[in-house]
Amino acid sequence: MKSDTIAAVATAMSPSGIGIIRLSGDESLEIIDKIYRSKMNKKKISECDSHTIHYGYIYDGEEMIDEVMVLLMKAPNTYTKEDTIEIDCHGGVFVMKRILETVIKYGARPAEPGEFTKRAFLNGRIDLTQAESVIDVINSKNSFALKSSLSQLKGSVLTDVKKIRGNILHEIAFIETALDDPEHISLDGYNENLLSVVNHERKEMKRLLDSSDNGRILKEGINTVILGKPNAGKSSLLNVLVGEERAIVTDIAGTTRDVLEEQINLHGISLNIMDTAGIRNTEDVVEKIGVTKAKEYANKADFIIYVIDSSTALDESDFEIMEILKDKKAVVLLNKSDLEVVTSKEEVEKHLDKTIIPISAKENTGITELEEKIKEMFFHGEVTFNDEVYITNIRQKNSLQDALDSLNLVVQSIEDDMPEDFYSIDLMSAYESLGKMIGESVEDDLVNEIFSKFCMGK
């Protein structure tokens, strides 16, 4: 089936050293032959070998537009598995738009957001998890997120899911064949064999699902809330972590009244840090709203940094904060360790079983220990990508959970000694849920929704 030819500017529409206009489709070679003139010879690009670069000019009729390099890639060995042309031109906004207009004038149409990757998916070059990882690579905020996305792009999730799916399909085929030909294929004792297989695949699915929390953190960062009483040094700590004066710091208690958000990169891990209003009983209406918001953010946080002013005694506000921390991942910082200590580490340990680190935001001490502790708490010291697969996408997680729920029903049916056709129904449901995850069984509307989030030219 002949596909229309799409074109888009594949680089940012801003002044730069170089710009790229990409074409993909059956008429790509015909279009480039009409608008490109070589500086070296008279040979048409369509007659040249694939995966070669050519130096010349782009023309609209007799008007020269720009001096360019043209990359020729013939199907099927391209990103979309279609004939593909990339025009490398000067990176001015006007010249990129002018070349794109010329390409469209001679037969291409403007590409929709993500349409190049969508074609790669529809033409079978990549599965849906790999397609989603493309936008994750583009949006990566830290080195771990990039490595995780590249791992998915290479097909790590696809490999694991296809293996599980193949094992499930084998059992479906055996049951259906046995039911159709009971004289030659016996199901005696099959329940135990099936239970063993299903339990193994459930374990594999749980392993992938368990990775989703780490996967979300790798992709989006750790939602971190700084809590403490007024004037404990929360804003000073934020400024130290960010590396610049982002929060107002004064000796006046209650200076911070709203939530101030910043993102930092900590040894390759992103922290979405929220500095909140100091928690205390107050009659100030605005400050009271800030305290309420601080508590709301703390309840939703992945991680809490509780800052205590070690030069003052603990009071009711501290004990209220400690109650919030009980079931949360948290670290306690005994700030102002450069001053005379009133509240010691031993005193805090009597009330709260959390890691306690003496620091001085003013002197910038104890921060390295905090950074190492955060890394240890969330990734057990090291994060590697040699064998690990991380689920970073909520759609993939939901499909996995649906498949696991179906396998749980198979186990229940085996325990209830139900007829074998009940097993087959739930096994098929699991198989289809995994198919939706990798895009082998997925509705057009969902595909369009996924690729609509991509940037233009990709």
Indicate the number of domains in the chain.
3
Establish if 94 belongs to a structural domain. yes
Closest C-alpha to 226, from 310, 365, 373, 332: 332
Question: Are residues 182 and 155 part of one domain?
Answer: yes
Question: Are residues 363 and 228 part of one domain?
Answer: yes
Question: Are residues 364 and 412 part of one domain?
Answer: no
CA atoms of 89 and 70, how far apart (whole Å): 9
Helical H runs in 106-233?
A: 115-122, 128-138, 143-153, 156-180, 190-220
Q: Among the three residues 353, 379, 405, which one is the final residue of a domain in this structure?
A: 379
Question: Are residues 238 and 193 part of one domain?
Answer: no
Q: What CATH number is attached to the domain comprising 331?
A: 3.40.50.300
**β-pairing verdict for 6-9 and 109-110:** parallel
Write down the pLDDT at residue 251: 44
Establish if 387 belongs to a structural domain. no
Structural domain boundaries enclosing 158: 133-216+393-441
Question: Are residues 240 and 211 part of one domain?
Answer: no
CA atoms of 297 and 223, how far apart (whole Å): 9
CA atoms of 145 and 150, how far apart (whole Å): 9
Question: Are residues 148 and 271 part of one domain?
Answer: no
Per-residue pLDDT of the chain (458 residues; tens, 9 = 90+): 557 999 999 998 888 889 999 999 999 999 999 999 998 777 899 999 999 999 999 999 999 999 999 999 999 999 999 999 999 999 999 999 999 999 999 999 999 888 998 898 888 888 777 777 666 655 555 555 555 555 555 667 778 888 999 999 999 998 988 888 888 888 888 899 999 999 999 999 998 887 666 666 666 677 888 888 888 888 888 888 776 554 434 343 444 444 577 777 776 677 888 887 767 665 565 666 777 787 888 888 888 989 988 888 998 888 888 988 888 889 999 988 888 888 889 998 889 899 999 988 888 888 888 888 887 777 654 444 334 556 667 788 888 899 999 999 999 999 998 988 889 999 999 999 998 888 876 666 656 766 776 666 66
Question: Are residues 350 and 237 part of one domain?
Answer: yes
CA atoms of 349 and 357, how far apart (whole Å): 11
Residue 407 near residue 430, CB atoms below 8 Å:
yes
Neighbouring-strand partners of residue 109 = 6
With vertex at residue 194, the alpha carbon angle to CA 192 and CA 195, rounded to the nearest 5 degrees, is: 65
Q: What CATH number is attached to the domain comprising 11?
A: 3.30.1360.120
Establish if 455 belongs to a structural domain. no
Question: Are residues 147 and 279 part of one domain?
Answer: no
Q: Among the three residues 49, 79, 111, which one is the final residue of a domain in this structure?
A: 111
Residue 252 near residue 278, CB atoms below 8 Å:
no
Question: Are residues 249 and 290 part of one domain?
Answer: yes
Establish if 262 belongs to a structural domain. yes
Residue recorded with tokens 């830290």: 142
CA atoms of 418 and 413, how far apart (whole Å): 5
- The pTM is what? 0.55
Q: In what order do the strands lie in the sheet with 260-266?
A: 260-266, 269-275, 222-228, 303-309, 330-335, 355-358
Closest C-alpha to 161, from 433, 456, 458, 449: 433
Residue 106 near residue 35, CB atoms below 8 Å:
yes
Question: Are residues 197 and 156 part of one domain?
Answer: yes
CA atoms of 151 and 31, how far apart (whole Å): 36
Residue type, 351: H
Residue type, 40: M
Write down the pLDDT at residue 389: 55
Sequence-distant contacts of 56-60: CB under 8 A, at least 24 apart: 58/87, 58/89, 58/99, 58/102, 59/35, 60/35, 60/98, 60/102, 60/105
442: its two tokens: 């997925």
Establish if 295 belongs to a structural domain. yes
Residue type, 380: H
Establish if 454 belongs to a structural domain. no
Question: Are residues 193 and 229 part of one domain?
Answer: no
CA atoms of 275 and 261, how far apart (whole Å): 6
Establish if 65 belongs to a structural domain. yes
Question: Are residues 184 and 65 part of one domain?
Answer: no
Closest C-alpha to 135, from 124, 121, 122: 121
CA atoms of 35 and 29, how far apart (whole Å): 10
Establish if 116 belongs to a structural domain. no
Write down the pLDDT at residue 387: 45
CA atoms of 24 and 83, how far apart (whole Å): 6
Cβ neighbours around 20 below 10 Å, total: 19
